[in-house]
Amino acid sequence: MQRASIAWRSEGRAIALIPTMGYLHPGHAGLIRRARSLVGRRGIVVVSIFVNPTQFAPSEDLAKYPRDLSRDRRLCQDNSVDALFLPSEESMYPGRITGAYSTYVTETCISQGMEGTSRPTHFQGVTTVVAKLFNCVLPHISVFGEKDFQQAAVIKRMTADLNFPIKIVIAPTTREADGLAMSSRNSYLSEDQRRAATC
């Protein structure tokens, strides 16, 4: 990935990264379109798909997180994505289970409170993986959804604090016709829960 990005950069092409955990939906397509509008036709739009284990607590839904790579590939092709980055867990966190991997990135202010209260290790996992994806993909721009409002604020702060030369763009939430924010995890909802979710 780095070799490809270095080559694109040497040709003067702007690179935009949309980090995702896959199971893509029209909200992601909106982020992809925003990225394309920012880098132009000569630019490179990269989507990463990686279900990041470090942002899930042991009690959370890592194993059952929805996955459908062939559908994701189609959505990327239909939206003219230039590259799909699919790192393996072992390449992102070599030896994490045995303790050989030991470096994490922690934002210590905005990540406290709100979602950070119920998910105390979540944002450290997010900042760690996003910093790593930035170093793999070497983008000029990275686009995130406003739906994950605290995450967007944490990532902006981390990017500034660690001097990543990357413009962070926050794109508006895409909603279902009845107002529910689109989310991969909406697939967990039963019919009753789906109806109640708009309250």
What is the Cα–Cα distance from 122 to 157, expressed in whole angstroms?
16
Q: Could you tell me what percentage of the chain is helix, strand and coil, using 3-state DSSP and rounding each to the nearest 5?
A: 40, 15, 45
Write out the two tokens for 56. Answer: 């899930």
- Please report how close the Cβ of residue 18 comes to ligand PAF at its closest, in angstroms: 9
Q: Quick one: which of 19, 27, 87, 139 contacts ligand PAF (CB under 6 A)?
A: 19
Stretch that binds ligand PAF, among 58-66, 122-130, 157-165, 167-175 (CB under 6 A): 122-130
Closest among 125, 184, 123 to 150, alpha carbons compared: 123
Site for ligand PAF contains 158 (CB under 6 A): no
Single residue of 130, 141, 152, 171 touching ligand PAF by CB under 6 A: 130
CA angle (110 as vertex; 106, 113 as ends), nearest 5: 105
Q: Which of 24, 47, 92, 126 binds ligand PAF (CB under 6 A)?
A: 126
Counting contacts by CB under 6 A, is residue 139 touching ligand PAF?
no
- Tell whether residue 159 is a contact of ligand PAF (CB under 6 A): no
| 44 contacts 16 by C-beta, under 8 angstroms | yes
Verify whether residue 28 is a known catalytic residue.
yes
d(CA 157, CA 164): 10
Active site residues: 28
What are the residues binding ligand PAF (CB under 6 A)?
19-21, 52, 55, 126, 129-130, 148, 151
